[in-house]
Amino acid sequence: MSHFNGLLHGAKVVLGVYSVLPRSRQNHSQYGLLHLQTHYLLSKSEDLTLSWSYNINGTLAYAKLFYIGDSQSKKLIALKPSVGSGDINMDAAFQDRFFLNISDTQALVKILAVQRSDKGTYRYEITNLDLVSISSDVEIIVLCE
């Protein structure tokens, strides 16, 4: 059984709902990324930790974290090619404040000192060795002070 656990430190919950977003047309009910919280409301300079737990029935082929802008264009923030590699390739613009820890069963994303420019939708996407992909979106809203 797959599930998502949202850890939220120093932030207020705007909406608590869940969604499972399979990326493949085939029936992959044994895979999933259950998302219990899709929106976060934060004040500027607060830290935010997001945590996903999942069952991909095998080994992670790769994981990606995207930022989706207002124009629905996707910007790749981080790519982890495989669990065994240990390396996470990060976009230089995010290296100082975004920290990721990704395994075959869990992902943690910590954003330090959230800024107004961090507002928007983030998509975490994982693919296993069978090339089954699943993803989960989270919207971050940053309040002006």
Give 80-114 as a DSSP string: E--GGG---EE-GGGTTTEEEEE-SSEEEEEE-S-
pLDDT at 1 over 50: no
What pLDDT sits at residue 141?
86
Q: How confident is the model at residue 76 (pLDDT cuts 50, 70, 90)?
A: very high
What pLDDT sits at residue 77?
96
Work out the percent of the chain whose per-residue pLDDT is above 90.
22
Q: Tell me what the pLDDT averaged over the chain comes to.
A: 73
What pLDDT sits at residue 21?
34
Q: Which of 31, 51, 17, 25 is nearest to 126 (CA)?
A: 31
Q: 14 or 60, which is more confident?
A: 60
pLDDT at 16 over 60: no
pLDDT at 115 over 50: yes
pTM of the model: 0.72
Residue with tokens 């656990």: 5
